[in-house]
Every structure is written in C-alpha cells, then in structure tokens.
Amino acid sequence: MKTKKLKEPIADGLHKDYYKNGMLSSEGSYKDGKKNGVWKSYLKNGVMRGSGHYKDDAVTGLWKFYRENGKLWQEGKFDKNKRVGKWKRYHENGKPLDEGSYDNSKQVGEWKYWDESGKLVKTKRF
C-alpha cells in the first residue's frame, strides 16, 4: 500500500514562485496558511500577467490582467472567486473591446462592444 506524502504547510509571510528558467512567476503573502493580500503573477518573459487581492485563499476585489506586451487586457472585481460588478476588456491598441457587468460570474445587464477604432459596434442585454 502506498502512502500519500502530505504537503508541508506554507509558512506565513511573503512567498515567491519561480519558473524553471529562474524568472519570477508569482509573489504574494500567506496568513494562516492561506493566500491573503496583494498577489502578482508574471509571464516567463518577466512581464506582469495579473495583479489583485486574495482573502482566505479566495480571489477578491479588483484584479487587472495584462497582455504579453505589458498593456492592460482586462480589469474587474471578484468576490470569493466569482466575477462581480463591472468588467472591461481592451484591444491591443488600448481602446475598449467590451464592457459590462457580472453577477456570480454570469454576464448580466447591458454589454457594449467596440471595434479597434473605438466605434461602438454592438449592444447586448443579458
């Protein structure tokens, strides 16, 4: 019979993970063995992939996600790992792509969609 090796508990305080190439992949803090506070994740090229907050191991509050070129891709809020409230996504040129709201990770209300020139091309209700 095989025994399962238990993971060692994670110490409270600042924690960093690294890719095999030595580049930082994520950093943040643990409290009582759970992710808490600001966390940042990075792509293998060192560019920030995302940043936001955790509370008791759950994604919460405002988060921002970035493209490989470092430009903002999307931003919005979470509540206990669920998308909530207003979210925005952006084209590579920085102009809005779409915008709308979530409730319990489901699109709700009016959503607007723009082309790369910034022209509103569609409105949809959920």
pLDDT above 50 (res 2) = no
CATH number at residue 48: 3.90.930.1
Does residue 38 belong to any structural domain of this protein? yes
Does residue 4 belong to any structural domain of this protein? no
Does residue 2 belong to any structural domain of this protein? no
Does residue 1 belong to any structural domain of this protein? no
What's the CA gap between 14 and 115, in Å, rounded?
A: 41
In tens, the pLDDT along 81-110 reads 999 999 999 999 999 999 999 999 999 999
Task: Using DSSP, state whether 20 is helix, strand or coil.
Answer: coil
Domain coverage including residue 83: 14-125
Domain count, the chain: 1
In tens, the pLDDT along 47-80 reads 999 999 999 999 999 999 999 999 999 999 999 9
Does residue 8 belong to any structural domain of this protein? no
Does residue 3 belong to any structural domain of this protein? no
Q: Indicate the pLDDT class of residue 10, thresholds 50, 70 and 90.
A: confident
| Cβ atoms 14, 29 nearer than 8 A | yes
Does residue 37 belong to any structural domain of this protein? yes
